[in-house]
């Protein structure tokens, strides 16, 4: 949630020295002050906060693991928990923290930033921080944590009273865990590889393009952006709106990919055909480009057809598996 304490109406309740964290779970209920929470032992985690408005920031937090708090009232770390805020209204005054996040070492009920307590607008007296979770779900001004019953074995999840809250857009499917160190490392490797490729391309252009041709090169690059945004993108949107609703569902995703590939191919084809028509030397475009362009179009078309057949096969297979799992209904006698 990105509200200030004043906008959330918690300036007095959050700053009240009598604030206590309520815990509820299978083993009963407990109530802890900030001093009692600190006495449990604080751990430190570096967790980014990503806002749905587009910004993100990384901070170092000191707090108590949510898993340990759940354990004080009978939680095992394999249950979802509901986090409730002092805020009395709004869609995100409470959120559900899936079990995969509860079990993570760096999912905390944060009490401090290094060397200082949280600011009131930052969530004082306590807030939740969890890795790879949108900022609106990092509940501030926490008042209560409830360990929810585990699903399965005939036990249904307890539903909170009050207005229905929106679904958690960051909940991992099934028992998926938050991104591991390997995944985060792979992302940094990809970012570094992309940056290196861009730098190499820029250096190659700077070292090989004659200075007198830079004006025409920059004009061509800018023209590509204009053609994409002013011609190809509207054309692709129009084609998608006209074609996709009129074809069977199994064709829609492959056709969408095919139209995007055809658009990219068109940008390249314009430059190649123009170069071939105006070449001053055979080495500019050594062969007739039209057969190569036609071959590329055929490859894109074949990819659309293969994608549609694969999509249809997956749909048929899934229907068969669901039919096989569905118990048969005995006929009345």
* Per-residue pLDDT tens over the stretch 133-146: 877 788 899 999 99
Can you tell me the distance from the alpha carbon of 176 to that of 99, in angstroms, rounded to the nearest whole number? 9
pLDDT interval class at 157 (50, 70, 90): very low
pLDDT of the residue at 56? 55
Can you tell me the distance from the alpha carbon of 307 to that of 254, in angstroms, rounded to the nearest whole number? 5
* Per-residue pLDDT tens over the stretch 231-242: 777 877 787 788
- Span 241-262, average pLDDT: 81
């Amino acid at each position: 949630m990105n509200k200030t304490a004043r906008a959330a109406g918690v300036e007095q309740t959050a700053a009240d020295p009598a604030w206590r964290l309520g815990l509820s779970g299978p083993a009963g209920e407990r109530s802890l002050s900030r001093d009692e929470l600190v006495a449990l032992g604080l751990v430190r985690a570096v967790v980014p906060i990503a806002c749905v408005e587009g910004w993100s920031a990384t901070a170092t937090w000191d707090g108590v693991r949510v898993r340990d708090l759940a354990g004080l009232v009978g939680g095992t770390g394999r249950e979802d928990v509901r986090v409730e805020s002092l805020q009395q209204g709004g869609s995100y005054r409470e959120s559900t923290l899936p079990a995969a996040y509860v079990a993570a070492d760096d999912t905390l009920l944060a009490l401090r930033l290094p060397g200082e307590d949280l600011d009131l607008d930052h969530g004082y007296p306590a807030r939740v921080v969890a890795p790879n979770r949108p900022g609106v779900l990092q509940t501030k001004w926490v008042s209560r944590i409830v360990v929810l019953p585990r699903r399965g074995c005939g036990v249904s999840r307890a539903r909170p009273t009050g207005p229905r809250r929106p679904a958690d857009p960051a909940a991992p499917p099934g028992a998926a865990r938050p991104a591991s160190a390997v995944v985060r490392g792979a992302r940094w490797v990809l970012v570094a590889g992309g940056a290196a490729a861009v730098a190499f391309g820029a250096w190659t252009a700077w070292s090989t393009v004659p200075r007198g041709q830079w004006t025409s090169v920059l004009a061509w690059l800018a023209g590509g952006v204009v053609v994409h945004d002013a011609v190809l993108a509207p054309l692709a949107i129009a084609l998608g709106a006209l074609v996709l609703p009129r074809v069977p569902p199994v064709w829609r995703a492959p056709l969408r990919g095919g139209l995007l590939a055809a658009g990219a191919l068109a940008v390249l084809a314009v430059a190649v055909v123009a170069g071939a028509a105006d070449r001053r030397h055979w080495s500019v475009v050594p062969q007739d480009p039209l057969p190569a362009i036609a071959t590329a179009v055929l490859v894109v078309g074949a990819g659309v057809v293969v994608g549609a057949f694969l999509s249809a096969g997956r749909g048929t297979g899934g229907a068969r598996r669901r039919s096989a799992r569905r118990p048969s209904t005995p006929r009345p006698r």
